[in-house]
Amino acid sequence: MTGFAIETAGLSKRFRAQMAVDGIDLAVPSGSVFGFLGPNGSGKTTTIRMLLGLVAASSGTARVLGTDMPRGVGSVLPRVGALVEGPAFLPFLSGEANLRRFDAADRSAGGRSRSARVADALDRVGLSHAADKKVHAYSLGMKQRLGLANALLMPRELLVLDEPTNGLDPQGTREVRNLIRSLAGDGTTVFVSSHLLAEVEQICTHVGVMRAGRLVTQGTLDDFRSTGAVSVRLQTPDVADARAVLARLGLTVDAPAGTPAPAAVPADATRLVTARLDATPPEAVVAALVAAGVRVRGFEAAHTSLEQRFVELTGEGFDVVQ
């Protein structure tokens, strides 16, 4: 084992003229909760389908749990729980009966412990109360949870979840996120795709960002937070002097945010000045401001938000609700 649950090299998928996935080198550490993030149509589902052997790659290689795919499908897939675009449940059977069918189709699953496995999986996703209900009467969120229960029938080394909270109400979303956290706590590697930045921020240790079929970055969430530009937020009444000092230090000073009517702003009022720090240490900025007689009433140097960083990388806004 290499320490990676998933590794790809130059993995690509072409649909006629379109490169849906374009030469990605994914490295998903064992034990991580890896958020696979990107706008709609950026290639996440196609990548997942290649990893699971559901679609052939046009070029490149993929290793899952140390085994080349799709050659290793037979030995690897029993160790992987997957939720991809909802499994094909039979609508006229109950949730429990559907799970029993899937469990029976798994040759590694013993028949005698089936009832306990199915009951446990339903319990873990909070569907015990609806076990006897026919699936056609399930809401979208309940079907999504049943799909997760299916992925959880057996102990898994790796869970691959494609947009697991899609269609869930806020309560269902919270439950699924808690479930993912608890699975990760047991040591299972979780590879979860999402277009929700907040979701990835809440549950993931690592992140990979897709843009138009390319993997534009990957690494730990902490590294991700600490890269990107640092901004300075200065509170001072001496706006003109402060701007002159910052400019002299070579900082890119942001345009003033609106110019209030002079009568509305006393000369001594504290105002906000913001700038990009680049390579200058924050303490040098404060020292220069103080030396120039600028009254520093507040000073903060902070990395740009994750959201800004993702927008920079993908050129698109993310849905940050939830």
Ligand X SMILES: Nc1ncnc2c1ncn2[C@@H]1O[C@H](COP(=O)(O)OP(=O)(O)OP(=O)(O)O)[C@@H](O)[C@H]1O
State the nearest-atom distance from the C-beta of 36 to ligand X, in Å: 9
For residue 140, the tally of other CB atoms under 10 A from its CB is 13
Torsion over CA: 161, 166, 169, 170 (sign): positive
Candidate ranges 34-42, 96-104, 221-229, 253-261; the one touching ligand X (CB under 6 A): 34-42
- Among 5, 6, 11, 20, the residue binding ligand X under the rule CB under 6 A is 20
Q: Is 40 in the site for ligand X (CB under 6 A)?
A: yes
For residue 171, the tally of other CB atoms under 10 A from its CB is 10
State the nearest-atom distance from the C-beta of 149 to ligand X, in Å: 22
State the nearest-atom distance from the C-beta of 114 to ligand X, in Å: 33
Do 249 and 288 touch, CB atoms closer than 8 A?
Answer: yes
> Taking CB under 6 A as the rule, which mask of x and - marks residues 144-183 in contact with ligand X?
----------------------------------------
Q: For residues 44 and 243, which CB has a smaller minimum distance to ligand X in the complex? A: 44
Q: 25 φ, ψ to 5°?
A: -115, 90
Candidate ranges 44-52, 126-134, 217-225, 257-265; the one touching ligand X (CB under 6 A): 44-52
Torsion over CA: 32, 198, 319, 219 (sign): negative
- Among 32, 46, 94, 189, the residue binding ligand X under the rule CB under 6 A is 46
Say whether 226 sits in a helix, a strand or coil: helix
> Taking CB under 6 A as the rule, which mask of x and - marks residues 47-66 in contact with ligand X?
--------------------
Closest CA to 156 of 183, 177, 178, 182: 183
- Among 38, 126, 164, 208, the residue binding ligand X under the rule CB under 6 A is 38
- Among 12, 24, 43, 70, the residue binding ligand X under the rule CB under 6 A is 43
Candidate ranges 15-23, 224-232, 259-267, 270-278; the one touching ligand X (CB under 6 A): 15-23
Pairwise CA distance, residues 280 & 249, whole Å: 8
Do 36 and 5 touch, CB atoms closer than 8 A?
Answer: no
Q: What is the largest CA-CA distance in the chain?
A: 82
> Taking CB under 6 A as the rule, which mask of x and - marks residues 183-212 in contact with ligand X?
------------x-----------------
Do strands 59-64 and 4-15 pair parallel, antiparallel, or not at all (unpaired)?
A: antiparallel
Closest CA to 186 of 152, 209, 227: 152
Q: Is 15 in the site for ligand X (CB under 6 A)?
A: yes
Pairwise CA distance, residues 28 & 110, whole Å: 31
> Which residues contribute to the site for ligand X (CB under 6 A)?
15, 18, 20, 38, 40-46, 195
